[in-house]
Amino acid sequence: MAKQIYYDLPVDELVKKSLERKEGEVSKTGALVVNTGKYTGRSPDDKFIVDTPEVHDQIDWGKVNVPMSEEKYRNLLEKVSKFEDGLDESFIAEGVLGADDKYALPVEVHCEYAYQALFCEYVLCKDIEKDKKYGFDRLKIYCFPSCLADPDRDGTNSEAFVVLNLKEMTVLIGATKYAGEIKKSMFSVMNYLLPEKGAFPMHCSANMGEKGDTALFFGLSGTGKTTLSADPSRNLIGDDEHGWTEDGVFNFEGGCYAKCINLKKENEPQIWNAIRDSALLENVVMKDGQELDFEDAALTENTRAAYPICYIDNAVAAGKGNQPDYVVFLTADAFGILPPVAKLSIEAAEYYFLSGYTAKLAGTERGIVEPQATFSACFGAPFMPRPATVYSDLLKKYVSKYNSQVYLVNTGWIGGAYGVGERISIKLTRQIITDILTGVLDKDEYKHNGLLNLDTPAKLDDPRDSWENKDEYEKKAADLITLFKENFKKFPDADVGVISAGPQ
């Protein structure tokens, strides 16, 4: 342990310590602004899961879930432990992940920086109650950005490492100051644990109407799940990951972690107003005497704001919702082929959930400088340790049982591919979401798009009509359909009905 350990300091003390240590500066709004240096997004090539007999058959090993031997883990744990012992001071944040105690995970995070502990205060739901029984054993995370790996000795791909040991319930993080690695590590552990209890872990945001009607928004970073769930007319349950059980929906975390590049008050008023006293900003540029410049991407496109969920005026304090009436899959289609909205059958919902088609947007991962078409199963493959079908089976179970209506919403491009067409406006997408959540689209007439095998509202134009060159649309659509088919070969055991629900 470090010579001086600051254990569970309150938020104002963590901000004060961060400023004393010159970790960041305070903006005019009162938010703490830090620069995470070289790592401004997740580093997916540096994530590993320790391969132990207890978990080996439960993990979907491959490019996303990369194994690390127990021997290499022990060496790295020793390095991390020695590093912590050599620190003059460190910070420990403690709390609970998961608003439903039956499925909750107690977490203890050892941090090198005060702002990391502040971030954890916003991620974790509540304090640990000494005598309360939670759903799982305690997870310990050790996050020391100044502790670097030696790839030759430690079996890593670079100086950076994010290593999950699901048997011993530990996570080791080094070299990266990007706080999102802490959060996504917690979530990855939860996503591994919850199916054991029959609970469906989801990479989605959630909100609830005045009458308790609940909606889920699935999507990768940058597709709009935080923006669209932060709706002034509805109550926010959470903005990133949730569990779905026989009791309803529960939020994993106690705060929000929103992208804020090009943030404007008129478009996202709730996020704008949340960036105030003690909120944490990563890599946002300040100019002219601590004035925030949300349009400046000099450090990264992936600028971030972390704040407690209570900073959203209409947030659900309990972090729980009812059985979902609506499930929305958000996809940022970089090809400009998909319609703005389509209604999905249960089979089509499984197909698009397993496909997880979207575009990786600039800055969300290292090396991504412009949108790239990608398929991420469950709309969150990097955080799902088990085979994708484990999660799709749970989706089918709960959607079927509670008769949830499922929609596919394109928040990407129309009228052409990225660089030619236009990004669908937030205004139009918000109207579509409103029509979904108020039941308007349930009552609409639908037409079948044979090329894409999708049912779209009859009142909306065919996406082909928005292209100047119709032949080019047909060509690009055929390319996208081929990508879907090739990707779905990863699921040879899928039901014929699910395969047939995809683009043909």
Specify the pLDDT at position 16. Answer: 98
Selected catalytic residue, list 17, 183, 203, 396: 203
Catalytic site includes residue 138: no
Backbone angles phi and psi of 186, in degrees to 5: -55, -45
The pLDDT tens digits of the residues spanning 362-404 come to: 555 566 666 677 899 999 999 999 999 999 999 999 999 999 9
Specify the pLDDT at position 373. Answer: 76
The pLDDT tens digits of the residues spanning 288-322 come to: 889 999 999 999 999 999 999 999 999 999 999 99
Catalytic site includes residue 184: yes
Coil, strand or helix at 388: helix
Decide if pLDDT at 429 tops 80. Answer: yes
Decide if pLDDT at 361 tops 90. Answer: no
Specify the pLDDT at position 220. Answer: 82
Selected catalytic residue, list 46, 154, 239, 240: 240
CA 150 from chain centre, in angstroms, equals 29
CA separation for the pair 30, 25 (Å, rounded): 9
Catalytic site includes residue 386: no
Q: Which two tokens stand for residue 252?
A: 């994993």
Specify the pLDDT at position 225. Answer: 87
Selected catalytic residue, list 40, 43, 90, 226: 226
Decide if pLDDT at 3 tops 90. Answer: no
Catalytic site includes residue 81: no
Residue ranges and CATH numbers for the domains of the chain are 4-25+46-197 (3.40.449.10), 201-254+318-500 (3.90.228.20), 256-311 (2.170.8.10)
The pLDDT tens digits of the residues spanning 29-50 come to: 999 999 999 999 999 999 999 9
Decide if pLDDT at 458 tops 70. Answer: yes
Share of the chain above pLDDT 70, in %: 98
Q: b or e along 136-161 (b: 16 or more beta carbons within 10 Å of the residue's beta carbon)?
A: beebbbbbbbebbbeeeebbbeebbb
Selected catalytic residue, list 17, 42, 72, 79: 42
What Cα–Cα distance (Å) separates residue 143 from each residue in 79, 129, 175, 504?
12, 24, 9, 46
Specify the pLDDT at position 130. Answer: 87
Over residues 447-476, mean pLDDT: 94
DSSP 406: E
Share of the chain above pLDDT 90, in %: 90
Catalytic site includes residue 397: no
Specify the pLDDT at position 430. Answer: 94
Backbone angles phi and psi of 305, in degrees to 5: -130, 125
Q: Which two tokens stand for residue 178?
A: 């990007």
Nearest to 346 by CA among 387, 294, 405, 391: 405
Specify the pLDDT at position 232. Answer: 87
Nearest to 60 by CA among 456, 307, 383: 383
Selected catalytic residue, list 17, 47, 184, 234: 184
Q: What is the DSSP string of 207-249?
A: EE-TT--EEEEE--TTSSHHHHH--TTSEEEESS-EEEETTEE
Catalytic site includes residue 110: no
Q: How does residue 230 score in pLDDT terms, banded at 50, 70 and 90?
A: confident
Bridge partners for 68 per DSSP: 50
**Average pLDDT score, the chain:** 94
Tell me the whole-structure pTM to 2 decimals: 0.94
The pLDDT tens digits of the residues spanning 264-297 come to: 999 889 999 999 999 999 999 999 889 999 999 9
The pLDDT tens digits of the residues spanning 196-208 come to: 999 999 999 999 9
Catalytic site includes residue 304: yes
Selected catalytic residue, list 90, 221, 364, 392: 221
Specify the pLDDT at position 221. Answer: 74
Catalytic site includes residue 79: no
Using only the alpha carbons of the chain, give its radius of gyration.
Answer: 22
Selected catalytic residue, list 17, 72, 110, 304: 304
